Homo-oligomer: A and B are copies of this chain.
Amino acid sequence: MSSSSLTPIPNLPESSHPKVVIIGAGFAGLKLARKLKGKPFQVILLDKNNFHQFQPLFYQVATAGLEPSAISFPLRKIFHHSKNVIFRMAEVSSVDTKAKRLFTDIGYVDYDYLVLAMGGDTNYFGSKNIEQFAAPMKTVSEALYIRNKIISNYERAINIEKVENRKHLMNVVIVGGGPTGVELAGAMAELRNTVLPKDYPELSFDNMKVVLIEGGPELLGPMSPEAKSHALKYLQDLGVEVMLNARVKDYDGQIVTLDGDVFLETQTLLWAAGIKPNRIEGLSDAQYSRNGRILVDEFSQIIDCKDIFALGDISLLTEENYPKGHPQVAQVALQQAENLAKNFEHILKGRPMQPFHYKDLGSMATVGKKLAVVDLPFIKFQGLLAWLTWLFVHLMAILGVKNRLFVFFNWSWNYLSFDPSLRLLIKPRYVREAERKELIEQK
């Protein structure tokens, strides 16, 4: 614990209201903070970043379709007019549940209620090699890194004479057949089919493979059979090689080894296969499930600590229809946050809290810039109309008028022109120099 953890976070305004400390400004944390705006609570929102990240569109940042700023929202701006919500950029270290004190790298803070909403990080299922060499996509900067890596690889490939020596730079392998993997694969295949051949006329793109690997027998696990089969067909039409029932055993940065000793040559292994809940020191093992999620009751309260709540990907609540817990998706996080915001008001008024029940509003995934699959509770459909639905739902979900207009404008242009102009390798000089050195040594 650093010395700064031993002094209180400075400059917090005085308040006579109960203090709600929220860790994490993802879907759950941000929604809760917004719902508590203007209510008689002092809300302290903590996040490692000074912005909210709109995760469903990371794949567009990775494939040069959107700028990071189009899907990242400065938290201070969101709370300009909310005096009772205070944001601090901080990294949390531990909690003392008896003293009701949270320790961070900028000091400690005492809470009346603590809300854990730190989400998850990439899960490599214990493989150190994959962790070292694969590219994850759980933050907007990781998505940006993927974009830079892909473009750098092409700038390198063009300087290699023999076609067979370029393969590892050109191929892209994506692991994980959930919405993220499917969307990444579709967008990568579209880049290959449209923009890249124009950018690199010297290279032959027949040699570039886009491979999507899924451990199970189907893509988009929890969706309807119609959605699954259409998504598979759409991907195959775009030229994606889909490998089902396939498992990655190892990766050395150049060769992916699959079960059954199948080998794929690539420098670009994108890992969208798993999520590992973030942890905080100070809770007991009994408060976690076996897969690391924090066990909560129907009020989102954690075991043995009535003043600590957990929301979103990090939490685990079993309901009748969800014996293994809810899926780790935005909808659950948002609904939990709304329920908790109401329950805070019930607590204040001495009324009983209302239990949380998940209402599945449906799910969707997009394949490329024209097609999608949509499962709603009452209807399932696929194709262009599904894509328009997907577009509408995601635009509406993005907060803030400015950015909504921006994203829409950017996207429309992108779609019409099929030629995003975000293929920029912007990085600090020392990074560029280190990379060029590596490039030269490898030659």
List residues of A whose CB falls within 8 A of some B CB.
Answer: 2-4, 9-11, 13, 48-51, 67-69, 72-74, 76-77, 80, 83, 88-89, 91, 105-107, 139-141, 144-145, 151, 155, 158-161, 198-202, 400, 402-403, 406, 409-410, 413, 417, 419, 421-429, 432, 436, 439-440, 443
Alpha-carbon gap, A88 to B158, bound state (A) = 9
Shortest Cβ distance from A161 into B: residue: B10
Alpha-carbon gap, A45 to B429, bound state (A) = 21
- Asked whether B76 lies within 8 Å of A423 as measured between CB atoms, the reply is yes
- Asked whether B48 lies within 8 Å of A422 as measured between CB atoms, the reply is no
Shortest Cβ distance from A414 into B: residue: B402
Shortest Cβ distance from A400 into B: residue: B421
Which residues on B sit within 8 Å (CB–CB) of A423?
A: 50-51, 74, 76-77
- Asked whether A50 lies within 8 Å of B440 as measured between CB atoms, the reply is no
Give the one of A68, A106, A159, A403 with max B CB within 10 A: A159
Which residues on B sit within 8 Å (CB–CB) of A424?
A: 49-51, 68-69, 72, 74
- Asked whether A13 lies within 8 Å of B202 as measured between CB atoms, the reply is yes
Alpha-carbon gap, A384 to B3, bound state (A) = 52
Nearest Cβ distance between residue A276 and chain B, in whole angstroms? 15
The contact sample of 17 A-B pairs, CB cut-off 8 A, is A2-B440, A4-B440, A10-B159, A49-B425, A69-B422, A74-B422, A76-B199, A89-B425, A91-B436, A105-B436, A107-B159, A141-B426, A141-B427, A141-B429, A145-B428, A402-B417, A406-B409
Known: A426-B68, A428-B141. A413 touches B417 (CB 8 A): no
Which residues on B sit within 8 Å (CB–CB) of A105?
A: 436, 439-440
Known: A202-B11, A402-B413, A421-B74. A50 touches B158 (CB 8 A): no
Copies of this chain, tallied across the complex: 2
Which residues on B sit within 8 Å (CB–CB) of A422?
A: 69, 74
Which residues on B sit within 8 Å (CB–CB) of A440?
A: 2-4, 105
- Asked whether B426 lies within 8 Å of A72 as measured between CB atoms, the reply is yes
Which residues on B sit within 8 Å (CB–CB) of A151?
A: 50
- Asked whether A403 lies within 8 Å of B428 as measured between CB atoms, the reply is no
Shortest Cβ distance from A51 into B: residue: B424
Given A10-B161, A77-B199, list of 8 further CB < 8 A pairs? Answer: A11-B158, A11-B160, A11-B202, A69-B421, A77-B421, A88-B158, A105-B436, A106-B159
Alpha-carbon gap, A385 to B155, bound state (A) = 44
Alpha-carbon gap, A426 to B406, bound state (A) = 19
Alpha-carbon gap, A199 to B79, bound state (A) = 8
Which residues on B sit within 8 Å (CB–CB) of A107?
A: 159
Shortest Cβ distance from A203 into B: residue: B11
Nearest Cβ distance between residue A205 and chain B, in whole angstroms? 14
Which residues on B sit within 8 Å (CB–CB) of A421?
A: 69, 73-74, 77, 400, 402-403
Nearest Cβ distance between residue A45 and chain B, in whole angstroms? 13
Alpha-carbon gap, A89 to B155, bound state (A) = 7
Nearest Cβ distance between residue A325 and chain B, in whole angstroms? 28
Which residues on B sit within 8 Å (CB–CB) of A2?
A: 440
Q: Pick the 5 closest A-B CB pairs, nearest first.
A: A76-B199, A10-B161, A74-B423, A11-B202, A106-B159
Shortest Cβ distance from A417 into B: residue: B402
Nearest Cβ distance between residue A353 and chain B, in whole angstroms? 32
- Asked whether B11 lies within 8 Å of A159 as measured between CB atoms, the reply is yes
Q: Which of B49, B145, B161 contacts A11 (CB 8 A)?
A: B161
Which residues on B sit within 8 Å (CB–CB) of A3?
A: 440, 443
Nearest Cβ distance between residue A124 and chain B, in whole angstroms? 15
- Asked whether A69 lies within 8 Å of B67 as measured between CB atoms, the reply is yes
- Asked whether A48 lies within 8 Å of B432 as measured between CB atoms, the reply is yes
Shortest Cβ distance from A162 into B: residue: B10
Shortest Cβ distance from A403 into B: residue: B421
Alpha-carbon gap, A50 to B145, bound state (A) = 16
Shortest Cβ distance from A50 into B: residue: B425
- Asked whether A10 lies within 8 Å of B427 as measured between CB atoms, the reply is no
Which residues on B sit within 8 Å (CB–CB) of A48?
A: 432
Alpha-carbon gap, A160 to B83, bound state (A) = 20
Alpha-carbon gap, A146 to B54, bound state (A) = 25
Which residues on B sit within 8 Å (CB–CB) of A201?
A: 83
